Amino acid sequence: MSEEAKLREDICNLAKSMFDRGLTCGASGNISARLSDGTFLITPTGSSLGFLEPMRISHLDSNFRLLSGDRPTKEIPLHVAFYETRNRTGAVVHLHSTYSVALSMLPDIDPDDVLPPLTPYSIMRLGKVKLLPFYLPGDEAMGDAVRSLAGERSAVLLANHGPVVAARNIWAAVFAMEELEETAKLAMLTRGLQPRCLTTDEVKFVQNRGRP
């Protein structure tokens, strides 16, 4: 199986897994991944992550122009910004997952670090997650907002919209996305209960010694 064929299969299988577990619904969410020749695969516009067909996934050249497949998602500017500012990015996942979206709408979260330090795993896989303002879906300003971070964040949360995660490959991006949603879920479930968070020293220990 060629690299491209394998990546198409991985995108479909991982997308269906997330869909089946309720991390995304309907025709929401999109995934992209970079091939070794510098071209990209990205999920088509209006497609459901639960019912993707490998050969209909959009294939784009290095300048994000369509080579084959269906018309790509309108969220391309969001994906492009991560590839342009984080050279090691091999995949980007964007969902409208319930708990992350709910967290993005709360008035008292820290916009520079939306996830409380509840477990070491979000720290290892995500670092600090930045809250970005609300933009209309497909607005190129979302890409500009990501570029303004100068590649310093691998994950962001779009207010009233959903999370976006970049990682070295499609598997790492999906795993990080799942960690973001699970941590947001924990934050919502323990809200008002005064949970014990990791201390500043414990967070530093995870940052210095932890591995994803």
Catalytic residue annotation:
75, 121
Return all residues near 117 (Cβ < 8 A) that are at least 6 apart. Answer: 123, 197, 198, 202, 203
φ/ψ (deg, to 5) at 109? -85, 155
Q: What single letter denotes the amino acid at residue 133?
A: P
Distance of CA 188 to the CA centre of its chain: 19
Distance of alpha carbon 173 from alpha carbon 38, whole angstroms: 18
Sign of CA dihedral 36, 167, 175, 73: negative
